[in-house]
Amino acid sequence: MNAEQKKVVMVVPFLNEQENIPVLYDRVCKAMEGQPEQFEILFVNDGSSDGSPDWIRNKAKEDPRVRMITFSRNFGHQLAITAGMDYADGDAVVIMDADLQDPPEVIPQLLEKWREGNEVVYAVRAARVGETWLKKFLAATFYKIFHAMAKVNVPLNTGDFRLVDRKVVESLREVRELHRFVRGLTCWVGFRQCAVHYERAARLAGETKYPVWKSMNLAWDAITSFSGTPLRWVTGIGLLFSLCGLIFMLHIVIQTMLHPETVAQGWASLAALTLIMGGVQLICIGLLGQYVSRIFEETKKRPLYLIREKIGR
């Protein structure tokens, strides 16, 4: 590599992707043919139990551009991305999943925008092939709610597939919160950003590692990491129900004065209101508990992940 040649590191978190990783490697190599930058592929093994780590170990012996770090256990997709950025030493980092829904053929477009001076180039999904209507609906709903609550402008129809400049990577390394929403953090740090549009492909093989319930957990982490609005909403709900309770109390007082014989018949409505109020209080306490739990977890200062094995350099 000459003094002027820059290096791009592809950070690929994976969990049991033995059918996809060989294809991903071939397509990344082909996509980088003719590009002026040197490249490496840094695989992050998030606790795989199939043959994918063995394939990478063997490939790393043949190709020094292949590296791998292996977690001591499954720590989760967002922390795998974080580890990849911590260990990537390139002038730019491309974050992409191993399921090939993020086509490696888009990488040259990301690099072109980076060469123009952009420091974050995020890939926007013009189409989402192979995803159910429910997942698309929930994704659209999440972004609307997130934009309404948070002050961070995460572009619509984006995932973690993006290129980040070295300066951005170094800034993100200083952010060590446990419950992470990486695409939100890359927007939060700022810098010069732009978009590249692409068609998201269907998963090549295997099963999704992000079913609906995991996507909802990520959405909850995103909202609670970037906004305290739910707590303010809880305050508003409490005030609303207090007002309703005051109005109902006045109604009972007036009813007692005008028609005292009917007051004893209102036990059903009182029981219903008691149940509703109790339910609202439990929801509010539970929401507050979620924020307190996150504070507790952050104060322990445990490492975000633990590395069991490193392959390459």
pLDDT digits (tens, 9 = 90+) for 113-153: 999 889 989 888 876 665 666 666 766 676 676 666 667 77
DSSP state of 300: T
The share of the chain scoring above pLDDT 70, in percent, equals: 70
pLDDT digits (tens, 9 = 90+) for 261-292: 655 555 556 666 676 667 677 777 777 777 77
Provide the 3-class DSSP secondary structure of residue 311. strand
Pull the structure tokens for residue 123. 């890939």
Where does residue 37 rank: exposed (0-12), middle (13-18), buried (19+ CB within 10 A)? Answer: middle
* Beta strand pairing call for 307-311 and 66-71: antiparallel
pLDDT digits (tens, 9 = 90+) for 72-97: 998 888 899 999 999 988 899 999 98
Higher pLDDT: 77 or 207? It is 77
Domain ranges in the chain?
A: 7-227, 229-299
Provide the 3-class DSSP secondary structure of residue 165. strand
* Beta strands in the chain, from DSSP E residues, in sequence order: 7-14, 38-45, 66-71, 92-95, 120-128, 158-165, 193-200, 307-311
How far is residue 61's CA from residue 67's CA, in Å, rounded to a whole number?
10
DSSP state of 43: E
How far is residue 125's CA from residue 258's CA, in Å, rounded to a whole number?
65
In the CATH hierarchy, which fold is given to the domain comprising 7-227? Spore Coat Polysaccharide Biosynthesis Protein SpsA; Chain A (3.90.550)
Q: Taking 90 as the threshold, does the pLDDT of residue 12 lie above it?
A: yes
Listed in sequence order, the residues at least 6 apart from 253 whose beta carbon sits closer than 8 Å to its beta carbon are none
**pTM higher than the cut 0.75:** no
Query: Residue 12's beta-bridge partner residues?
Result: 43
The share of the chain scoring above pLDDT 90, in percent, equals: 23
| Chain position carrying tokens 């093994």 | 45
From 169, 211, 205, select the one nearest 186 (Cα to Cα).
169
pLDDT digits (tens, 9 = 90+) for 27-41: 999 999 888 889 999
How far is residue 177's CA from residue 195's CA, in Å, rounded to a whole number?
26
Out of 112-126, 179-193, 198-212, the most confident range is 112-126
Q: Taking 70 as the threshold, does the pLDDT of residue 207 lie above it?
A: no
Listed in sequence order, the residues at least 6 apart from 212 whose beta carbon sits closer than 8 Å to its beta carbon are 134, 135, 138
DSSP state of 160: E
User: Do residues 130 and 203 lie in contact, with contact meaning Cβ atoms separated by under 8 Å?
Assistant: yes
